Structure formats: C-alpha cells, structure tokens
Amino acid sequence: MLLPSLLDQGVDTDSAVTIDGTSFTAPALLGAANAVVPRLHGAHTVAVLAAPTAHTVVAIVGALRAGVTVVPVPPDSGPVEINHILNDSQAQAWLGPSPTLDGVKPLPVVPVRVHARDWHQHLEPHPDTPAFIMYTSGTTGLPKGAVLTRRAIAAGLDALADAWDWTARDIVVHGLPLFHVHGLILGLLGPLRFGSSLIHTGKPTPQAYAEAPGSLYFGVPTVWARLAKEPDYARAIADARLLVSGSASLPETVFEKIAELTGHEIVERYGMTETLITVSARADGPRKPGWVGVALRGVETRIVDDNGCVVPHDGNSIGVLHVRGPMVSSGYFRRPDANAEAFTADGWFITGDIAMIDPQGCHRIVGRASTDLIMTGGYKVGAGEVENALLSHPAVVEAAVVGKADHDLGERIVAYVVGSVADPDELITWVSDRVSHHKRPREIHFVESLPRNAMGKIQKTMLQ
C-alpha cells in the first residue's frame, strides 16, 4: 500500500498537509482525494499542472487512489515543452487547472474540488501500476518520461525512512516544486506515507523556513546558501532534527557555514528522476562535506571506467556511477532505444554521473560525464573538485567549471565565477594551492550570475 498512513483515519495530527493557505487533516485530504476517483473512471493517464497548491495535492492523491498515472507538468513550461509531454505521455485530460497559454494542445479538463468529500472505499491498485511518468530536464534533447511504479516509490521512501529515522513524529518543511522527485515524491508522498505533517512554504525563502516549526527540512543548495547568509533565520531552525540537501551539489563552504550557525551537519543525498534516491548520508552516520553518503538499504552501486571495468572503491579513482535497486524506474515511456542505452543487460542503471567511492562506501559525485568530466593534458578532471576549490575562496559566491576544446590540451579548464574577485591569476593560484596543478583553470570569466533551472542546477550547456 503506497499511502497507508493517509488511509488510517486515526492519524493523530491536526494538519497532515499545509500548503498555499490551506490545511488538510489526513481524513479531510482522504475525503477530497476520494471525490476525485469517480471522475477518473475509464482514464489511464492524466496531466497535472503541478503548481504548489491545494488543488495539486488533491489531484495527485486522488489519481493515486484511482490507480491512474499522473504526469506532473512544470507550471512555467512553454507550449512546446507542454505539448511534447502531453503527446509523449498520451495524457487524456488535465486533472485540475489547465495552462492558459496559446498554442497548448487542447485536452478535456477534469475539475478538482478541494472541499468535496467522499468516504467510499477503493481497492488498492497493483504495486506495479505506474504512479507517475516524470519528465527529465531534457538537457541533451527532448525530455524523456521515466515511469515510476507504486512499488518503486514505496521502496524508495522506506529506504529513506530507514536512513533518516523518518517517522510520524516528524514535521517536514520545504518550499520545493511539486513536479520533481525532491518536492513531490520525498516532500509530499513521504509525509503521507509515514504520517508526518507537511508544511509547504510556497517559496523556499530563509524567512519562510525560519517561521515554519519543523523537524525535517528539505532544500536544494541554493536554499541553504541563502540561509547561510541570513544568520538569524538559520539559527531559528537549529532545533530541527535533520537538514537535508539534494538535487545539486552542495558547496562545502555552505555545509560548513550552516553547521556553524545551526549545529547541524547537512544530510546530503543523491538521486535522479530515473532512480529516486539511492545514496544518502544517514541520521546515525558520519557526514562529510562534498560527499553524498552510502548506498541505501537494498541498493547496489559501482563505478565503471571507459572500458567497462569496475573501478576500485579507494576514494580517489573515478568512473561512471551505476546503480541497481528496487526504487529504480522501470524505464523510459515508449523509448526502447533510450532504455537500451541507460540500462545494462543485468539491470544496472547507467547514471551518467562521474563519482568516486571510498573504502567505507561513501560516495562523492564529481559531475556529469557529458559536461563535468574534463580531459585535459591526458588527465581526467572532475569539474566539481575545481568548483569546490574556487568556492573556498572568501570572495567567490558561485562557480561553474567546464571544459573547452584546446588544440594542445584536448580540453582546457575554464571557470565562470560570481564574486568580488577582480584578478583571474589570484584565483588560478588559489586553486593550484589546493588541488593538483593540472586541475587549475586556464581561464577565469567573471559573470553577474550563472544560468540555473527550476531546481537550482547550473545549466552548463549555456556556458559552453
């Protein structure tokens, strides 16, 4: 059963979910979701414009109760992306509000009424029923739809509960989008599965986090970086049980500043749309800045070199990370070609991320093989290591490192920096003093800001 706590009418909580000015008790959310079920009779796939609203919550839970697959659509998408998602997923209707943009494919709209209630019982769908088709960011082409079954989601959440000691006693706080794994699967379905309350802050501002009384706070690195600059707001969440960061690499300087202000070492974790969360620091284990923890319960990991050979777990050797576990997607929807590229014959998912694993099983993500592995002068250099060295400079606010074609080196290391430093040579020397000499940037470009997507990930293809 995917949402057992929600189905327990005796859940002892005043507010199961608070979002966009609306608070639901568990029974009220169940009643509103049940009222959606008869409206979806005969449907197999619906699109939800996943804004952070009560309508989105009711729509998603209602579709899950009905056993209908949900396609979360980012509310800021343009007509081309929306039409691709609708056509590719074969969505039959919008569940809840639809986009008002010109040029969007017309589909029927199934209304969602937040205040409606229905107390009929409904059979639990089969565990292998697809719960979501979630679309990737599409950085290397049109977005692909990863199919996430109810079984995979349950396994992924239960593995996190084991790692984080996540229980009904927790109050989860976040302001993350509801169209990604972080905000939707972890941030909404996690609380509903375990019976913990959820406070969605709307925007993930330092003030909003400080004013929300929680025990488990979720954020992307941008959220924690902003909190680190607001000491009073950061200290206000010192009574939390865990602070969790994901969706992008957390700078070591932010990790250290938050620890100084709150007494908390942030729990870093690693996952993808296609795999959910597979690696994380544990509530009862060590946390190292720049490292994303150990494989979750039921997960296997390995790193593989260009020749397909498994790389030693020595904390220094790097390779492409492969993962295997019960929470991994069953594949891309209607894309056998992409599945053949992404999965090995024996079931390993090829993440495309470059990583290293130490002898204790702790993982460090160096970057994406497509953008963050730089071949320079015969050496393999992970952009993340150079970025961390840059970010350790007191005047550097943000940094992104890429490789650019070079007739002599193959690729030269180029850094884009936001900060108050004016002298490129100062930063090049700074990096050379902290990492191997061949890893130093050959060029430094000072910029006002770095291009980011909705989850705060730097879009390096726009820097090439």
CATH number at residue 226: 3.40.50.12780
Residues 73 and 156 in one domain: yes
Indicate if 395 and 276 belong to the same structural domain: no
* Torsion on CA atoms 227, 228, 233, 235, rounded to nearest 10: 130
Residue-level pLDDT at 95: 98
- Is residue 140 pLDDT above 60, yes or no? no
CB burial of 403-433 (b: ≥16 within 10 Å; e: otherwise) equals: beeeeebebbbbbbbebebeebeebbebbee
CB distance 133 to 71 below 8 Å: yes
Say whether pLDDT at 265 is over 70.
yes
pLDDT at 367: 80
Q: List the beta bridge partners of residue 382.
A: 373
Of residues 84, 95, 185, 184, the one with CA closest to residue 144: 84
Q: Beta-strand (E) ranges in 273-385?
A: 276-280, 294-295, 300-304, 319-324, 331-332, 349-357, 363-368, 373-376, 379-382
Kind plus residue range of the DSSP H or E element containing 224: helix 221-228
Domain match, 115 and 214 both:
no
User: Are 46 and 164 contained in the same domain?
Assistant: yes
Residue 285 in any domain: the answer is yes
Using only the alpha carbons of the chain, give its radius of gyration: 22
171-174 and 197-200 strand pairing? parallel
Dihedral, CA of residue 234, residue 239, residue 241 and residue 245, to nearest 10: 0
Tell me which of 312, 334, 367 is where a domain ends.
367
Same structural domain, 28 and 116: yes
Structural contact between residues 11 and 191, judged by C-beta atoms closer than 8 angstroms: no
Q: Determine contact, residues 28/46, Cβ cutoff 8 Å.
A: no
The CA distances from residue 224 to 190, 259, 320, 392, in Å, are 21, 11, 28, 16
139 and 107 fall within a common domain: yes
Place of tokens 């060590």: 286
Contacts of 324 (CB under 8 A, 6+ apart): 299, 300, 301, 347, 348, 349
Q: What are phi and psi of 160, to 5 degrees?
A: -70, -40
CA 414 vs. chain centroid, Å, equals 27
d(CA 372, CA 364): 13
159 with 224, same domain? no
Whether 115 and 179 map to the same domain: the answer is yes
Asked if 240 and 289 sit in the same domain, the reply is yes
Summarised one tens digit per residue, pLDDT across range 75-126 is: 988 898 899 999 999 999 999 999 998 999 999 999 999 999 999 888 899 9
- 194 within domain boundaries: no
Residue 338 forms part of a structural domain:
no
Among candidate residues 200, 193, 169, 185, the one with its CA nearest the CA of residue 7 = 193
Residues 10 and 153 both lie in one domain? yes
Query: Is residue 306 domain-shared with residue 263, that is, in the same domain?
Result: yes
* Domain CATH number, residue 435: 3.30.300.30
Query: What's the whole-number average pLDDT of the chain?
Result: 91
Helix/strand/coil percentages in the chain, nearest 5:
30, 25, 45
Task: For residue 18, give the H/E element and its range.
Answer: strand 17-19
Identify the pLDDT of residue 208: 98
Task: Give the mean model confidence (pLDDT) for residues 394-423.
Answer: 87
Within-domain flag for 213: yes
pLDDT in tens, 146-201: 999 999 999 999 999 999 999 999 999 999 999 999 999 999 999 999 999 999 99
Residue 350 included in any domain: no
Q: Are residues 359 and 422 in the same domain?
A: no
Query: Residues, the chain, total?
Result: 464
In a domain, 348, yes or no: no
Backbone angles phi, psi at 443, to 5 degrees: -140, 145
Q: Say if 191 falls within a structural domain.
A: no
Best CA proximity match to 393, nearest among 460, 457, 444: 444
pLDDT tens digits, one per residue of 44-68: 999 999 999 999 999 999 999 999 9
Contacts of 441 (CB under 8 A, 6+ apart): 386, 390, 401, 413, 414, 415, 427, 428, 431
pLDDT in tens, 267-310: 999 999 999 999 999 999 889 998 999 999 999 999 999 889 99
What is the tally of structural domains in the chain?
3
> What is the extent of the structural domain holding 301?
203-326+355-367
> In this model, does residue 141 exceed pLDDT 70?
no
For residue 333, being part of any structural domain is answered with no
CB 332 within 8 A of CB 189: no
